[in-house]
Amino acid sequence: MHGLSQGHSTSLRRPRWTAWLEFEDLLLVAWVAIASPLGDRLIGRSEPFQSGHPLLGLMQLGSVAAAVAALVVRRPASEERTAGRAINGAFIGPLTGGLLLVTISGFISLEAPQALVLGVIAVAVIGAVLVRTLAPPLPAPARRALMSPLVLVTGGIFWSFVDAVSGPGKTGVFGLPAIDVLRTPVALLFFVAFSAVYYAMLVYAPRQAADPEGSFVAWLIRYAAFAIGVIFGVAWLSALGS
């Protein structure tokens, strides 16, 4: 019986690759490698923070609202002991900075007047209190689903930063085709340093706040996949001459 139980337990284990790359990681890579480059060209956005894109602004503010809900919602009793560690492990300062970054970008895209901004913030505060008070406890998968839109949006913003300085016809920080970043030590060092800090603040921190998981090696692999996805996104646009 013991052997049967042990074999059954082993068969239920997740495939080894999922210990390194979760569904959110694969979605983020596809987002920065394909969806963000294509979407930015379709809507005509050429800079990270650009006004006159109301649909994009609504998406960004919606992602912030969902992320705040994931942060303030109550957790099941079985997870309460890890709740404080999750927030502390996510570096509450960088996480707050990331939320503000996306919020500001959303209001710029909407070209929102100051009165509307203050009104939305007031409604958000009231909404957060109601979610904390009235919403039922949410398990980790539901919180991760709520946090995912913010992670995708911030990944798209990072892609647009890189495209703004190394995209077709650009001679900014890299001054070379995006794919050559991988073959140029100075440019590669800058890209890794900047993208690693950005990833820690705006991908790692939100996801750990929703559900702390993953080893150090797993997060290094996830970051590498993200970075390659960003470079691929700029590279295929450069190859098309867009």
DSSP state string for 45-72: --SSS-SS-HHHHHHHHHHHHHHHHHHH
Is the pLDDT reported for residue 57 higher than 90? Answer: no
Q: What is the pLDDT of residue 101?
A: 87
Q: State whether residue 42 is helix, strand or coil.
A: helix
Q: What is the pLDDT of residue 171?
A: 46
Q: Domain locations in the chain?
A: 19-240
* pLDDT (mean) for 146-151: 94
Q: What is the pLDDT of residue 167?
A: 59
Is the pLDDT reported for residue 124 higher than 90? Answer: no
| Rounded Cα gap, residues 88 and 10, in angstroms | 33
The band of 4, judged by pLDDT with boundaries at 50, 70 and 90, is very low
| Rounded Cα gap, residues 191 and 199, in angstroms | 12
pTM: 0.78
33-56 b/e with 16+ CB inside 10 Å = b?
Answer: bebbbebbeeeebeebebeebeeb
The band of 220, judged by pLDDT with boundaries at 50, 70 and 90, is very high
Q: What is the pLDDT of residue 26?
A: 93
* pLDDT (mean) for 129-158: 90
DSSP string, 215-242: -HHHHHHHHHHHHHHHHHHHHHHHHHT-
| Rounded Cα gap, residues 168 and 39, in angstroms | 16
